[in-house]
Amino acid sequence: MSYIRGMPVDPELLEILACPNCKTPVTLVKNGTALKCATCKRVYAIKDDIPIMLIDEATIEND
Partner 1 sequence: MTTIDPSAFHDFEQAGWERAAEHYGDAFGSVTVQTADALLDAVRAAAGARLLDVATGPGFIAGAAAARGAEVVGLDFSAAMIEEARRRHPAITFRAGDAEALPFDVASFDAVVMNFGLLHLARPDTALAEAHRVLRAGGRYAFTVWAGPDQAVGFGMALRAIEEFGTTDVRLPEGPPFFRFSAPDETRRTLEQAGFTDVDVRQLALTWRLQSADAVFDALSRGGVRTAAVLRAQTPSALASIRAAVRRGVEAHAQEGGFVIPMPAVLASAAKR
Task: Select 26 or 34, whichever has its Cβ closest to partner 1.
Answer: 26
Residue 42's closest CA among 23, 62, 25?
62
Query: Distance between CA atoms of 44 and 42, rounded to whole angstroms?
Result: 6
Tell the smallest beta-carbon distance from residue 8 to partner 1 (Å).
8
Q: Which of residues 2-61 bind partner 1 (CB under 8 A)?
A: 3, 10, 13, 15-21, 23, 25-26, 44, 47, 50-55, 57
Tell the smallest beta-carbon distance from residue 59 to partner 1 (Å).
15
CB 26 within 8 A of CB 37: yes
